[in-house]
Amino acid sequence: MKLVSIKLEEITGLHPAVTGMVDKTASVIYASGPADYQELSLLYLLKLHPIHLTKIDTRFVVVAGFRSYELARLLLHPETEVGCILHIKLKPEEPTLLATVDIFGSPLMHSLGPKYIQQLQALAKFFGNRASIFFPRMGSLRRLRGQNRTTD
């Protein structure tokens, strides 16, 4: 493995062995959506949770970091360079193993638990304005919960 910097447009898509897995789990609903991120916060998150790639012939394809890749493609310009982890000489079974651990394990590792609103409130209180600069929805609990504005 090695850390590389690659333009998003150079990533051609998902590894053929994992496409079906990603398609079948696409209905998983994440607590956050693209509107929850500023470009700068996403760029920092991509440093912490990089897209994992391998090369097939001359093409870079994703084998893990699917949520990072999805958000990057939705929010960043195709010419944006992002740090990625390039897996070299993967064994034939490794792309699906990496994908399984990413799709199933990442939510387990990063979930706040059953009382996530209260936990997010505590984090927002601790970080204050610093959090709302990067994550604008942190400024409003109603928006955080996904509720629409009411006109009482």
Q: Which residue has the higher pLDDT, 138 or 72?
A: 72
Q: Which of 1-5, 27-31, 38-42 has the lowest mean pLDDT?
A: 27-31
Domain span at 95: 2-111
Supply the pTM of this predicted model.
Answer: 0.80
Total structural domains in the chain?
A: 2
Instruction: Identify the CATH number of the domain in which residue 71 sits.
Output: 3.90.1530
Whether 61 shows a pLDDT value over 70: the answer reads yes
* Whole-angstrom distance, CA of residue 18 vs CA of residue 106: 16
- Both 11 and 33 in one domain: the answer is yes
- Both 24 and 37 in one domain: the answer is yes
Largest CA distance in the chain: 61
- Location of structure tokens 């994440």: 30
- Both 17 and 63 in one domain: the answer is yes
- pLDDT tens digit sequence for 75-102: 999 999 999 999 999 999 999 999 999 9
